[in-house]
Structure 1
Amino acid sequence: MPLEEVPDDPGARRRRPVVVAIVMVLLAGLGVGAWVLRRTEAGPLPPPDAPWPTTGEASVFLCGSGSAQDNCDGRAIMAAQRLMVERTLRGLPEVSAVRFQSRAETLKDFKKAWALSATAREAFRESDMPESFVVDLTSTGDFLRKVETLPGVSNVYVRGTSFWAGKADVAIRLCPRTAPGKNSPCLGRGEASAAEKATIYQTLRDLDGIGAIYLEDRRHATKDAFWAMFARSPDDTKLFAYIPESYHLVLDGPGAVDRVRRAVSGLPGVNNIEQELS
């Protein structure tokens, strides 16, 4: 039937605005999807909009002979006090696990955590290290107040679970405004430039096995550093020159960590690459 002979259908005329509206909605949806894709392609994502962790870990150090802390009075913890401290820890509702750490284990962790010279490493002995209990916390809350004055306890350090734990696998710390140490590749220069950050990002985008790429600004990084070290937020909004921006990566493959290290460790603006804190 020729087009001009198509009978007029009043129902079709009524339905057409509805059909057009549906088409416009679908096109708008496609447009949003394309925009999100282009936005993701154009640069890294900001940190996820997620609640800050409330969990953490604590080290409960025990008094040794000659401990200067007021709670020790120069005396080493006695066996009965050690047992009382452990029972108290296990009985607290916010405690999910307790592990005793010997002096030998503490010395091993100490040397691993700090880049010491051979001379310095030899200077520290097992007898210099305190015994401790390592405690997993479902909430950092009032743990310090409950434990710090127990007989036989010298110090208590509470650390929060990093914001990035479970959200990313690898952190790429960029050059800060002030170089963090004499062996840093950032020594003698300032913070990573916009061009350097763009080059690092594009290098990461071109690697296989890389999922989401987040860029954490200095304010967010400062908050996370204080939480991970002290289980508290910064006292004010001050930014510290040695805390840099960082890329945080979600890895799709087990071999991606090595590929990341090989690809970006020597790029200008990169300070170091490390596994995310748990």
Structure 2
Amino acid sequence: MYGPTETPESEELSFEGPERWSRWAAWVRAHTRLAAAVGASIAVLAVIAGGRLLYERSRQPLPPPEGSSPQTGHLSVYLCATEPFWEKCRGPATAADRRKIEAALRSIPEIQSFRFETREQSLANLRKTVVRASNPEGLPDLFGSLRPEDVPESYYAALRPGDWPGVRQRVEALPGVSYVRTFRDDMWWGKADVAITLCPRASSLEKRCARRGAATEAEKAAVLDRIHSLPGIETVYFEDRTHAVKALGDVSRQGLDANGDLPGLSEVFYLKLDRPVTKDLSPSFSDLPGVAGVRPVSTP
């Protein structure tokens, strides 16, 4: 029987006597080992979960590098040809016209250097320009039927920072000039070696992306998995539509609305390699749906 001030709990928690001290010590040792085992298990699970998270994050592409757009660019001066592409042309550019154009190009401070391009060179440079400034998925259809005689001769000029609109107006007013285009240098030059262009929201071209819509998240994930399976990949960037619109506006020197209707503009994976590009990577992605094309990132 317990007195008025005694309870079983008070007896159980009493540490008087060696027997009870021994039981208490045994209980502490047992529970200490259990706590240590549980703690170790939790730590192992945390390491596994953290390692998996770090692994997944390490496979995610980086956003485009930060920084201002290049302040250098180039000028393409297309000459009047036999075919009256533009109303201002009254016939093909003459030798006298070309001498005046070259003299003007030499006198403009913003022009660092220039070169004359034959019809063949002009067509090749036009292809590169279109690849840079828009989705390359339909290039074979757009240019497959073009011949050098279909493209006018031109001058290609490297531009320093300055009044590019003024340069364009001055050169375009010269006799023998059909039209002039200015382009800012691509921000990806020197930052990436290969571009993997994805299918845009809409395409009217009879190619892989026709009538199918933009690449899905699952298709993007499959492309990323294929990228990581290749040797020599140093860095992977992903350019979404918002950045692509801004980059296109910077390259073409025209302000574009990120919410505007640009259904043919593609998202792009950019790859930086740890070695020079020695082979075409297109075959590595030719079987993947949602891929519009693969191209090297190179200066004109």
TM-score w.r.t. length of structure 1: 0.73
* 2:183 is the alignment partner of 1:159: yes
Q: Of residues 143, 146, 154 in structure 1, which corresponds to 2:170?
A: 146
Aligned partner of 2:193 among 169, 185, 210: 169
Question: 1:255 Cα deviation (Å)?
Answer: 5.1
Which structure has the bigger radius of gyration? Answer: 2
Q: Distance in 2 between matches of 1:106 and 1:139?
A: 24
Q: Which runs of 5+ in 1 are unaligned?
A: 1-33
Select which of 103, 125, 131 maps to 2:153: 131
Q: Taking structure 1 as reference, are residues 86 and 255 closer, same or farther at Cα in structure 2, changes over 3 Å only?
A: closer
> For the Cα contact (< 8 Å) 2:59–2:228, is it kept in 1?
no
CA RMSD in angstroms comes to 3.2
Cα distance in 2, alignment partners of residues 63 and 83 from structure 1? 14
Secondary structure in 2 matching 1:90 = helix
Tell me the residue number matched to 1:198: 221
Q: Give the letter for the 1:96 counterpart.
A: Q
**Which residue in 2 is equivalent to 1:28?**
none
8 Å contact 2:204–2:211 — kept in the other structure? no
Identify if the C-alpha distance between structure 1 residues 51 and 125 changes in structure 2 by more than 3 Å, giving closer, same or farther: closer
Could you tell me how far apart the structure 2 residues matched to 1:78 and 1:262 are?
A: 46
The change in CA–CA distance for 1:224 and 1:47 in structure 2 (over 3 A counts) is same
Aligned AA for 2:245? T
1:84 equivalent in alignment to 2:100: yes
In 1, are the aligned partners of 2:195 and 2:296 still within 8 Å (CA)? yes
For the residues of structure 1 that align with 2:56 and 2:185, how far apart are their CA atoms?
30
Cα distance change of structure 1 residues 205 and 180 upon mapping to structure 2, 3 Å threshold: farther
Q: 2:78 aligns with which of 51, 56, 61?
A: 61
**Separation in structure 1 between the aligned mates of residue 249 and residue 239 of structure 2, nearest angstrom:** 15
Quote the sequence identity (%). Answer: 35
Residue 236 of structure 1 and its aligned partner are, at CA, apart by 6.1
Note if contact 1:197-1:269 (Cα within 8 Å) is conserved in structure 2.
yes
1:242 corresponds to 2:267: no
C-alpha distance in 2 between matches for 1:82 and 1:237: 42
Q: TM-score, normalised by structure 2?
A: 0.68
Structure 2: gaps (5+ residues): 1-50, 131-138
Per-residue deviation, 1:263: 2.7
SS in 1 for 2:140: coil
**Alpha-carbon distance change, 175 to 105 in structure 1, aligned in 2, over 3 angstroms:** closer
Shift of residue 183, structure 1, vs aligned partner: 1.8
Alignment-mate amino acid for residue 240 of structure 1: L
